[in-house]
Structure 1
Amino acid sequence: MSENTVSKYVCSLEEKGLIRTEPTMVRSKDGRPLNGNLLYTIRPIQAAIELFYERQFQQLEEDTARQRAAERLAELACESPQNALCAPFGAVASPCADPGLEAQMGPLSEEFSGTKEKAG
């Protein structure tokens, strides 16, 4: 196997909590410290299982929190769609806070009529 393949699988085993690696140091003949091989320690299977269950539980808690936030946003969107952060797709949210303001000023499209034809 190539060095990259071995490294990838060693990292995978470490992430799963099945092994632990430690770098070692060796001394050359002239006394200089050099990098040695990795020291591999196989962890007890029960510790790896507990780590797996702990990660699964954390993922479940995150998913539940995400789902609650989405439900809360949906409730807020139903109560007042113009104030919701993320209005549901297809919902019309008025950008104008005062509906009477548009009536006083008139629609904007009349001022720019014919611009599409001029543009070509």
Structure 2
Amino acid sequence: MADELTDFATWLRETAAAAGRDPERRGATAELARISGVDAGQLSRFYNGQAAPSYKSMLKLAPYLGVTADEMARRAGGGEDGLPAGGTASEITPGQALLALGITRPEDQAVVLAVVERLRTYASSSPDA
């Protein structure tokens, strides 16, 4: 896992630099955090290989890095389809399931994820839950 995080961090820094958001440039991380809505401290942990982003964070960051969330998921250790390597259905997130279903546009993914979250909230507040 540590090697995957290190490889992902290297790729993320190179991708950010290629998109004009070089994390070595003063203020670049704070700027990316501001425009993407991802916490600057968390973004720094991604750059340093201390954590991998959630799929929600990938959806937020990808448009500003010139990549897709699907590519980020693969680079973060997912299989060819962006799902966790060797994962089972119970181990995947709704975002990863969207990729497996072929829902790849960030706008479409955000809508479906919002609906899933609303259904979870509804289900947890239901008297039968």
TM range (shorter): under 0.3
Q: Larger relative contact order (C-alpha < 8 A, sep ≥ 6)?
A: 2
Structure 1 length-normalised TM: 0.27
Report the structure, 1 or 2, having the larger strand content: 1
Report the structure, 1 or 2, having the larger helix content: 2
**Larger Cα Rg: Structure 1 or Structure 2?**
1
Structure 2 length-normalised TM: 0.26
